[in-house]
A and B are shown apart, each in its own frame.
Chain A
Amino acid sequence: MSLNVLSVQLMTSLAAEGDTFETPGVRSFWWPLVGGDHDNFAFTRPSLVMILSVVFLGWFFVSTTRRLALVPSKRQWLTEQTYDFVRNTIARDVIGTKDFRRFLPLLFTLFTLILVNNIAGIIPFVQYPTTSRIAFPIVLTLVVYVVYHVVGIRSKGGIGKYLGGMVPAGLPGWLKPIMFVLELLTYFFVRPLTLALRLFGNMMAGHLMLLVFILGGEYLLLHGDNFALKGAGVLSFAFSILMTAFELLIEFLQAFIFTMLTALYLADSLSEHH
């Protein structure tokens, strides 16, 4: 969320409640551009960022891969590095050399989309991590959820075999039902839930932290009674800059972890024994 909007929010809050500080919360992420607070189909700011990110990603990767040279240019080098990371570090190492190729479009789409939408949180004038709105992680997780179940059912040859294959081999008889229930929970409930909420939670919390430091700093600077409070406001701004650098790391890491776990779940569905 950009600074000018923050100040608008702050001023409106001041106008409404006088000289008190409104703590930023989950509410701060709700930001309709077209439509209102109670509109189910309001066109929100994250939607716009999402569309812009798709346009940017599509343009960048299609234009750099249209004419590929064996010796890459600078932009092609960037494309190749990203692709290489997803292809070799994530897909090939986790899924295995046999079947990783057919999942490359999925993994590459997930990684680049999440990465750009995460980094949107610290790009100046955009400053809105799209993935901090839970709708987007849920959509991406649903895709992954459907894909790894379908892949699992296909590779095991039937739903019954797929469910039966969830129990690890070599367990004593009395443990099998317990493990089956646990694995069922893991496959159908815990995995999608954690996949979506990890991305959402990290992005929202990180951005909220930036909001607290920037909004708090602004409030202290503008409404502080003495120089100590104003100094604290400046310190808060300085710390928000540090936290922005930290956010960059978190944003990359979350994109990596989401893609990595997708690859892991796919590898799990493909493997023979489990």
Chain B
Amino acid sequence: MHFASLAASGESTGYPEQLPLLPHPAEMIVGVIAFAVLYWLFASKVVPNMEKLYAERAAAIEGGMAQAEEAQAQAQAALDQYNAQLKDARGEAARIREEARTQGAAIVEELRGQAQAEAGRITDSAHRQIEAERSSAAASLRGEVGRLSTDLASKIVGESLHDEVRQKGIVDRFLAELESGAISAEKVER
């Protein structure tokens, strides 16, 4: 065998007994060729195709994204419109409510004014009636007091003083003086 002579001559090692970590030359050559072939295959065919696929897929996804964005925009527009309508309706309702409130307040105010006027009128007429009755009562009382005091004076004096009193108007004058405060009741009693 040819390797026996090679081993005998010591030119070739084959399996390195002393250093098992030494690489076997034939395997290195095979490794280089294998790597080169696979690299060439992958670099020229596999990777470009895969990258193209990635690009296509990214484009497809982006197209889908654009569609989704459009749909979203439409939905947003519809929502905006709806919101605007809702806002209008709310404003309308608030305006109507406000109007009703002001109307109600006006009605209440008006009614209150009417009631107050009515009450004032009733109070006034009552006052006037009371005043009239009071003055008539005072007038009749004055006559009565005059006549009574004249009667008393007549009994004390012993003769009728009616005519004289009437003539001279003493009682009236006295009463007038009494009312005006020219003389006081205390002085009369004393």
Residues of A within 8 A of B (CB): 26-27, 30, 32, 35-44, 46-47, 50-51, 53-54, 57-58, 61-62, 65-66, 68, 70, 79-80, 83, 87, 101, 104-106, 108-109, 112-113, 133-136, 138-140, 143
Q: Is B104 an interface residue (CB 8 A)?
A: no
Chain B residues, Cβ within 8 Å of A105: 39, 42-43, 46-47
Question: B45 contacts A36, CB within 8 Å?
Answer: no
Question: A139 contacts B28, CB within 8 Å?
Answer: yes
> Given A39-B6, A50-B31, A70-B56: A58 and B38 within 8 A (CB)?
yes
Chain B residues, Cβ within 8 Å of A40: 6, 12-14, 24-26
- Which of B26, B27, B37, B53 has the largest number of chain A CB atoms within 10 A? B27
Question: A139 contacts B49, CB within 8 Å?
Answer: no
Question: B50 contacts A65, CB within 8 Å?
Answer: yes
Measured CB to CB, the nearest residue on chain A to B45 is A62
Chain A residues, Cβ within 8 Å of B53: 65, 68, 70, 80
Chain A residues, Cβ within 8 Å of B26: 35, 40-44, 47
Question: B28 contacts A54, CB within 8 Å?
Answer: no
Bound-state Cα–Cα, A250 to B137, Å: 132
Question: A38 contacts B6, CB within 8 Å?
Answer: yes
Question: B25 contacts A108, CB within 8 Å?
Answer: no
Bound-state Cα–Cα, A38 to B1, Å: 11
Of A26, A54, A112, the residue contacting B20 (CB under 8 A) is A26
Q: Is B185 an interface residue (CB 8 A)?
A: no
Q: Which 5 A-B pairs have the closest CB atoms?
A: A38-B7, A135-B27, A139-B31, A135-B23, A105-B43
Chain A residues, Cβ within 8 Å of B119: none
Question: A54 contacts B3, CB within 8 Å?
Answer: no
Question: B3 contacts A106, CB within 8 Å?
Answer: no
The total of Cβ contacts below 8 Å across the A-B interface reads 142
Question: B3 contacts A36, CB within 8 Å?
Answer: yes
Chain A residues, Cβ within 8 Å of B34: 50-51, 53-54, 113
Expressed in whole angstroms, the minimum distance between the Cβ of A52 and any Cβ of chain B is 10
> Given A47-B30, A68-B49, A105-B43: A36 and B14 within 8 A (CB)?
yes
Q: Is B174 an interface residue (CB 8 A)?
A: no
Residues of B within 8 A of A (CB): 1-4, 6-7, 12-15, 20-32, 34-35, 37-39, 41-43, 45-47, 49-54, 56-57, 60
Expressed in whole angstroms, the minimum distance between the Cβ of B77 and any Cβ of chain A is 32
Question: B3 contacts A65, CB within 8 Å?
Answer: no
Chain B residues, Cβ within 8 Å of A46: 27
Chain B residues, Cβ within 8 Å of A80: 50, 53
Chain A residues, Cβ within 8 Å of B3: 35-39, 42
Question: A27 contacts B15, CB within 8 Å?
Answer: yes
List 10 A-B residue pairs with CB atoms under 8 Å apart, sorted by A's residue number.
A27-B20, A38-B12, A40-B25, A44-B24, A44-B27, A62-B46, A65-B50, A105-B47, A109-B35, A134-B23
Chain A residues, Cβ within 8 Å of B60: 70
Of A30, A32, A50, A62, the residue contacting B30 (CB under 8 A) is A50
Of B6, B14, B42, B57, the residue contacting A70 (CB under 8 A) is B57
Chain B residues, Cβ within 8 Å of A136: 27-28, 31
Chain A residues, Cβ within 8 Å of B45: 61-62, 65-66
Question: A58 contacts B52, CB within 8 Å?
Answer: no
